[in-house]
Structure 1
Amino acid sequence: MELQQMRYVVAVAETGGFTRAAERCHVVQSALSHQIARLEKELGARLFDRTSRSVRLTAAGEAFVPVARQALQAAERARAEVEAATGQVRGRLAVGAISTVAAVDLAHELGAFRARYPQVRISLQTEMSDQLLEKVREGALDVAFVGLVPSARTVGVREKELARGELVAVVPPGHPLAGREWTTLSRLAREPFVDFTAGSAARRQRDEAFRAAGLASEAEFEVTTVEFLAKLVRAGLGVGMVPEAFASELVGLAMVRVRPAPERTERVVWSGLGPSPAAAAFLEGLGVDLGRLG
């Protein structure tokens, strides 16, 4: 079993086809197909079900791909560690972030990091906190910026709290609450909500505050991005709640403080096994003292 064979299998799984996988890996399709067939013979199991229209993972393939990803990441990490030992920071820096990150100027930090370490391949993806945490645990991301309720305990990652703040209500200009400086949770409970998906970390920030106050509320519209939340609120479909530090960026909406206010923390997280050399350099640039955190 060779790393290149694993790389080919992962590419097919991620692109959904042998042609696109060969293009990604910069090889001819026949060579890629031959190597995957050799691997399947060695394993004694088919990894893909192939038809004229689609390519799908078999049960064996579903079991193989996550482990193959980990092996490829470990090989890349080993190379990066050796290079770091000789004074070079290379490899990759895969960063994830929620769309409401406000504790750091992420664009500035990534730009400064690229200027310091031009040989590191940087990528960024935006998702919900739960998905980001899972990808850090899996090794698909090196560092992620997440938003969680203060009581949340993360598993399988290391973390540092960057900021703690409150959620505020956002309403369209013509809403009865638009001219008020503050309102109460009980008043908001009478409103229909535009909110993040049920069970998500972003949704729990609001739900826990209402539950603690003995209040119930309805989310008639569920979204996965703050931009879409803002569009629906502007259309008068409900009120929303977002971090106070981010509310001023939502043009065309009025901000109303809430009492008692739901709280949230912004945290940066990285692998429980420790950061890669590139991730360590990035975290140190953020002021994270890895030596003190252990």
Structure 2
Amino acid sequence: MARGRRVPTIARMELQQMRYVVAVAETGGFTRAAERCHVVQSALSHQIARLEKDLGARLFDRTSRSVRLTAAGEAFLPVARQALEAAERARAEVAAATGEVRGRLAVGAISTVGAVDLARELGAFRTKYPKVRISLQMEMSDPLIERVRAGVLDVAFVGLVPGARAVGVREEVLARGELVAVVPPEHPLARREWTTLARVARETFVDYAEGSAARRQREEAFRAAGLTTQVAFEVTTVEFLAELVRAGLGIGMVPEVSARKLAGLHLVRVRPAPVRTERVVWSRLGPSPAAAAFLAGLGVEVG
């Protein structure tokens, strides 16, 4: 019987050690990690030292100025995160079986999300499920899909060209829309309601990083028309894209729903227009109880 009582204690201790390792990796130091975990630093350091002894390898290189993951630490970190997420998912599944939705809801979104009013949806979800911890990350589509695939995020709102597949996740298309050009008021195109791809191709562009899903949405339309474009400024958010366009450094192409929110810029339709689909993606293993409740609130069927 003594042995039966000891197993859960050891299991809890191992999870706690993993939690400490993740905290140190994410905060960059033992002091900040201890603060996050609400323990004294000596206790956190002791548990990580015990774990390193059990593993037979150092997880961190410690200096007076910095703490960095070793190669062993880099290998251990994603496994630790997965173990912690699995433990949290197990608790959430048990709670859901008794009719209670709890746990976490980690959401990712591109800065041009327009198919849903994300702030309103998250607010409504928090009111309905107060025991769920909600977080939000804004990023580009490709990193968001990877984080869903890795289990770091539960759901993500992304934008992709119509024919693209989000590999390793499940998805549903929420909306399909056109990209439009945005230009400053003094630009010659500002006097037009629409223009052609060939005319726009002569401009200098403010755009997203080369190879990103957001960049591909625009470039594929030009490539299909046999046109090339020059990108002088690369950004990661639609807000900074708008700032550079306002400064007269180039023009941009963004979803129409986003363009209408950008003060001080003129919207110009382009023919033929680049097209994108906005989608919500979630784990191919199935959503957590919190994620399932959130997706159900959006009218997304996950069965």
* TM-score tier (shorter): over 0.9
Measured in 1, the distance between the counterparts of 2:252 and 2:65 equals: 43
- CA deviations over 1:83-108 (Å, ceiling 9, x no partner): 00000000010111101000001111
Q: Letter of the 1:25 partner, please give it.
A: C
Shift, 1:155, TM fit:
1.1
Q: Does the CA-based 8 Å contact 2:59-2:73 persist in structure 1? A: yes
Choose which of 41, 50, 59 in structure 1 pairs with 2:71. Answer: 59
Q: Does the CA-based 8 Å contact 2:286-2:302 persist in structure 1? A: no
Show the counterpart of 2:175.
163
TM-score, length-scaled by structure 1: 0.98
Partner SS, residue 112 of structure 1 = helix
Measured in 1, the distance between the counterparts of 2:258 and 2:59 equals: 45
Measured in 2, the distance between the counterparts of 1:3 and 1:116 equals: 30
Structure 1 residue 83 and structure 2 residue 110: aligned?
A: no
User: Structure 2 stretches of 5 or more lacking a match?
Assistant: 1-12
Measured in 1, the distance between the counterparts of 2:55 and 2:82 equals: 18
Measured in 1, the distance between the counterparts of 2:240 and 2:258 equals: 14
Measured in 1, the distance between the counterparts of 2:302 and 2:165 equals: 19
Partner SS, residue 190 of structure 2 = coil
Measured in 2, the distance between the counterparts of 1:44 and 1:50 equals: 17
User: Structure 1 stretches of 5 or more lacking a match?
Assistant: none
Q: Letter of the 1:286 partner, please give it.
A: L
Show the counterpart of 1:129.
141
Q: Letter of the 1:226 partner, please give it.
A: V
Alignment of 1:155-234 (within 5 A): 155-234=167-246
Q: Count the aligned residue pairs.
A: 291
- CA deviations over 1:229-261 (Å, ceiling 9, x no partner): 000000000000000121110000000000110
Measured in 1, the distance between the counterparts of 2:266 and 2:254 equals: 12
Measured in 2, the distance between the counterparts of 1:152 and 1:190 equals: 27
Show the counterpart of 1:71.
83
Partner SS, residue 189 of structure 2 = coil
Measured in 2, the distance between the counterparts of 1:219 and 1:232 equals: 12
Shift >6 Å, 4+ stretches: none
Measured in 2, the distance between the counterparts of 1:88 and 1:237 equals: 53
Structure 1 residue 144 and structure 2 residue 159: aligned?
A: no
Q: Letter of the 1:12 partner, please give it.
A: V
Structure 1 residue 102 and structure 2 residue 111: aligned?
A: no
Partner SS, residue 173 of structure 2 = strand
Shift, 1:156, TM fit:
1.1
Show the counterpart of 1:269.
281
Root-mean-square deviation (CA, aligned residues, Å) is 0.7
Measured in 2, the distance between the counterparts of 1:246 and 1:15 equals: 34
Measured in 1, the distance between the counterparts of 2:259 and 2:44 equals: 49
- CA deviations over 1:198-247 (Å, ceiling 9, x no partner): 11110000111111110000100000000000000000000000001211
Alignment of 1:24-39 (within 5 A): 24-39=36-51
